[in-house]
Amino acid sequence: MIGVFDSGVGGLTVLRGFLKDHPEYDYIYLGDNANVPYGNKSMETIYNYTVKAVDFLYSQNCKLIIIACNSASAQALRKIQQEYLPVKYPGLKVLGVVRPIAEEIARLKNIERVGIIGTKATINSDVYGKEIRNLDRDLEVFQKATPLLVSLIEENWLKKPETKMILKKYLRKLKVKKVEALVLACTHYPFLLKDIKRIMGKNCQVLDTEKIISDSLLSYLNRHPELGIEKKMNPQLKFYATDNVEKFKELGEFFLGREMEDIQKVVL
């Protein structure tokens, strides 16, 4: 069983990629919509929320957990990997979404300037900048917090002129810096991918983070058969939410692009 965790429904875009490319595995998705958003909360708070999510998913027999939330990946993942897992769950694995994207950036050729957009927590942590610079010190990294985009996407204001205006204003700084690649460091942002590509222009490569993370999962599973995560003829797909299940279902089906069944409420 593979667990996917996010502060709300944004991580369903990550799960969507998994289901599209690797539908033969069992998945559990946990959305902590009682505490969403994580992006404006402290590191300590985000860590505490994430630990509770990890505990729950391991109680459901998950052998691998993907933290699909960029804020949680930025503020909690390293501490969980280095301090929490060795004591509480030795041998079990929790992965984030930052490393595979940074590795993809490092593989790009003829790139000198990289842009990153995300929540305040993700940008302030500099987690992407650190990972990218660790892999390639010559790359210049320019970052921009874009906090309004999550709410606009969840309200399905994708085609509203106000959204396009705000997005254009946010991206102006990165266009001025002439970034040659752009990272969408929030699981909500793929919904704006076409508009972002249009605004950034043909000289900037906007990464398909959903595909990158999906490919990274398969690569990891192939390298770690000892986890015992096997393909199934009739794979399971379960959903858990920490608050309003009806609202979670309505918004979640928009993000996942398919009907969601068997959603259960859980208190962490």
Catalytic: which of 186, 196, 200, 217?
Answer: 186
Integer-rounded Cα Rg, in Å, for the chain is 18
Catalytic: which of 4, 19, 69, 241?
Answer: 69
CA atoms within 13 A on the CB side of 166: 17
62 catalytic residue (yes or no): no
DSSP structure class, residue 238:
E
- Give me 128's structure tokens: 């992407």
For residue 142, what are the β-bridge partners? 115
Nearest C-alpha neighbor of 125 from the set 46, 203, 193, 50 = 46
- Give me 6's structure tokens: 């996010």
Strands 140-145 and 93-95, how do they pair?
unpaired
Reduced to 3 states (helix: H, G, I; strand: E, B; else coil), residue 130 is helix
Query: Rounded to whole angstroms, how far apart are CA atoms 186 and 151?
Result: 12
Residues with catalytic function: 69, 186
